[in-house]
Homo-oligomer: A and B are copies of this chain.
């Protein structure tokens, strides 16, 4: 898993979970989908579990599943669960008391607030089911997938 591609990787494995329907997928299998390590998957997926997006179970036949139907999971939910802002610029005080800095920070904070609202609104329109449907459309057109769900 390369840098800054967390959202992309997570969506990838979540769509695989959506396709797997009622059977659980192990961290090991999920990790293979995105060419990474099982521990990395558990680590990241733990955040999704806390957000109520996936569930995990141990032991035989254990693994990961969606906690609710993919129609009810939006990209906004997932993005929020990852806990990082999509706009990761920071507005930290460097020169306490400088009024120029205060004006700049005020403007940027306003912008960030508005921008995050806009982005979340857009992301909330896309569900995991939409992605899964697009996958199936591609599958029917081309007829193969290197690693089937």
Q: Which residues of A contact B (CB under 8 A)?
A: 1-9, 11-12, 15-16, 19, 33-36, 75, 86-92, 94-108, 111, 114-115, 118-119, 122-123, 126, 130-132, 134-135, 138-139, 142, 145-147, 149
B108:A2 contact, CB within 8 angstroms: no
Considering the chains assembled together, what is the distance between the CA atoms of A116 and B53 in angstroms? 27
Q: How far is the CA of A146 from the CA of B101 in the complex (A)?
A: 11
Interface residue SS majority, chain A = helix
The smallest beta-carbon distance between A95 and chain B, in angstroms, is 6
Known: A12-B104, A103-B15, A119-B115. A146 touches B97 (CB 8 A): yes
When distances are taken between beta carbons in the complex, the residues of chain B under 8 Å from A4 are: 88-90
A139 nearest CB neighbor, chain B only: B99
CB closest chain-B residue, reference A86 = B87
Instruction: Please pick, from B2, B101, B132, B147, the residue contacting A92 in the complex, using a CB distance under 8 A.
Output: B2
Q: Which chain B residue shows the least CB distance to A9?
A: B94
Tell me which residues across on chain B come within 8 A of A134, comparing CB atoms.
Answer: 103, 106-107
Please indicate the chain B residues that have their CB under 8 angstroms from the CB of A1 in the complex. 94
- Note all chain B residues with C-beta closer than 8 A to A145: 97-100
- 24 example contacts (A-B, Cβ-Cβ < 8 A) are as follows A2-B90, A5-B91, A7-B108, A12-B94, A12-B101, A12-B104, A15-B100, A15-B104, A33-B94, A33-B98, A33-B100, A33-B101, A75-B111, A86-B87, A88-B88, A97-B145, A98-B145, A99-B145, A100-B135, A103-B134, A107-B126, A111-B126, A115-B122, A118-B118
